[in-house]
Structure 1
């Protein structure tokens, strides 16, 4: 790894991943000191995406800059990742919907090997936040206090040999039939109600398949599509995204087989991912170590009705 911290490697991988997608899909983007923003607008289910890539010297100034950007972009739906836990958008109609560990595995790291800061505390981020996140103020608009005023790398690599076990096989999704299966598994495996009814290309437009550095992985169990994920090699680290396993195939080694296939395909790369609670124990067994707990802000906030 280079001089960046593990958390910075993960942040930069996520940012370059979104920028690469923006480039092929024609989305507007902005890269500034400490953050990357992408104006995702290919489908009604898309949210504008922001990744905070470095700890801000002035969180209030960054908040003002982002609110100005959201005004310019007429942001009606937002997903913002803050791995430093320093922003508070609760007074602008947002909610801290998720808090998930950012994890990194060193190149050729031993499975389950200890790396990183002291036990119980991420080396680059704050301690774990309470389960319900920061306190939430009254919902207001992102820009002017009124929600009603807001309107909606690297060189190409050859295919990798498939990974097979008696029960589970994993291979790159390269043909249209497999790419369609991969998209179905991700949408149904998370699940993503906003992407229903399922339509090919709604989550993964065909233009993404030609991106250098991007690989799509499909797992089958008993001959049936069972799991999927996408890897993104930015030239320094490989990020793992959209790791999903369909419910009937969970607890049968599908996720492990997917991740091992992707890791074997990039033996000289650090690997990064953002973990769900269900996936975190497996990731630790594979040598991933928590770097920080990222707060995910969502706009608009969920409306609570009594």
Structure 2
């Protein structure tokens, strides 16, 4: 199986693949939330409200002075929090008053996926969508979305965006793990893979990854992993490719 350029996906391709897919995901998220989506050669930005904040996805390693200046202006004018993602780790943004950290971009080549040990379902109902929101908000500590407002993080319109799918697994009838996948331009990516604290160490995260990977088995898949997630993803066939640098006003 090949990527959108009809050449086999390599580890060296992973930062650009992740950049493009992250832009597709956040553009879809922005549209579904009714937020402004700003597209430039070197970056895509989603300007949200005071709870969602500003999200910037760097698309090229060689941002121009004008692009950097526009990003700085967006950050100054934005309702915090401000989060910027640089899959190329090539752009210094410390002058914007943000702290940074790195996480590995990982790539999985096309290949078979074993069955999940517990049922994993595509999100189709509003109740499942709200369950996915709550699981992700809890597992990632997204206090910006508290107090909880149903449909704020994952609006129902997100399910209508091309290539976007949400998956959930339950423990005792309650959504305990969720994730989002995006398929675009011949490859896929995972986002917001989160398990509630009470359901951890029970194989639920692995199950959701397997269930969500199955529809993407014939294409390359990328993700950006936390350090704790790397061992699981390696067992599922992902390999680390390059560090992605994340910048956030919350880490200042």
Structure 1 length normalisation: TM-score? 0.73
Three-state SS of the structure 1 residue aligned to 2:90 is: coil
Match for residue 217 of structure 2? 267
Structure 1 window deviating more from structure 2 (183-192 vs 26-35): it is 26-35
- Contact 2:42 2:60 (C-alpha < 8 Å) held by counterparts: yes
Aligned CA distance change for structure 1 residues 300 and 229 (closer, same or farther; 3 Å)? closer
Three-state SS of the structure 2 residue aligned to 1:187 is: helix
Match for residue 79 of structure 2? 76
Q: Say whether 1:87 aligns with 2:95.
A: no
Q: Say whether 1:190 aligns with 2:140.
A: yes
- Contact 1:38 1:48 (C-alpha < 8 Å) held by counterparts: yes
Q: CA RMSD in A?
A: 2.2
Match for residue 237 of structure 2? 287
Aligned CA distance change for structure 1 residues 27 and 223 (closer, same or farther; 3 Å)? closer
Match for residue 40 of structure 1? 48
The one of 106, 110, 113 equivalent to 1:107 is: 110
Larger helix share, 1 or 2? 2
Match for residue 131 of structure 2? 181
- Contact 1:109 1:287 (C-alpha < 8 Å) held by counterparts: no
- Cα distance in 2 between the residues matched to 1:81 and 1:290: 17
- Contact 2:116 2:210 (C-alpha < 8 Å) held by counterparts: no
Three-state SS of the structure 2 residue aligned to 1:238 is: strand
- Contact 2:137 2:145 (C-alpha < 8 Å) held by counterparts: yes
Highest Rg: 1 or 2?
A: 1
Q: Which ranges in structure 1 are unaligned for 5 or more consecutive residues? A: 112-162
Match for residue 23 of structure 1? 31
Which residues in structure 2 correspond to 1:1-306 (within 5 Å)? 1-3=3-5, 5-41=13-49, 44-56=50-62, 62-70=67-75, 74-77=77-80, 78-96=82-100, 98-108=101-111, 165=117, 168-299=118-249, 302=252
Three-state SS of the structure 2 residue aligned to 1:199 is: coil
Match for residue 118 of structure 1? none
- Cα distance in 1 between the residues matched to 2:75 and 2:196: 35
- Cα distance in 1 between the residues matched to 2:161 and 2:105: 24
Aligned CA distance change for structure 1 residues 85 and 109 (closer, same or farther; 3 Å)? farther
Per the TM alignment, residue 61 of structure 1 is displaced from its structure 2 partner at its CA by: 5.7
Aligned residues: 243
- Cα distance in 1 between the residues matched to 2:30 and 2:174: 32
- Contact 2:195 2:205 (C-alpha < 8 Å) held by counterparts: yes
- Cα distance in 1 between the residues matched to 2:32 and 2:174: 31
Structure 1 segments (4+ residues) deviating >6 Å: none
- Cα distance in 1 between the residues matched to 2:211 and 2:250: 37
Q: Which ranges in structure 2 are unaligned for 5 or more consecutive residues? A: none
- Cα distance in 1 between the residues matched to 2:99 and 2:66: 20
Aligned CA distance change for structure 1 residues 14 and 56 (closer, same or farther; 3 Å)? same
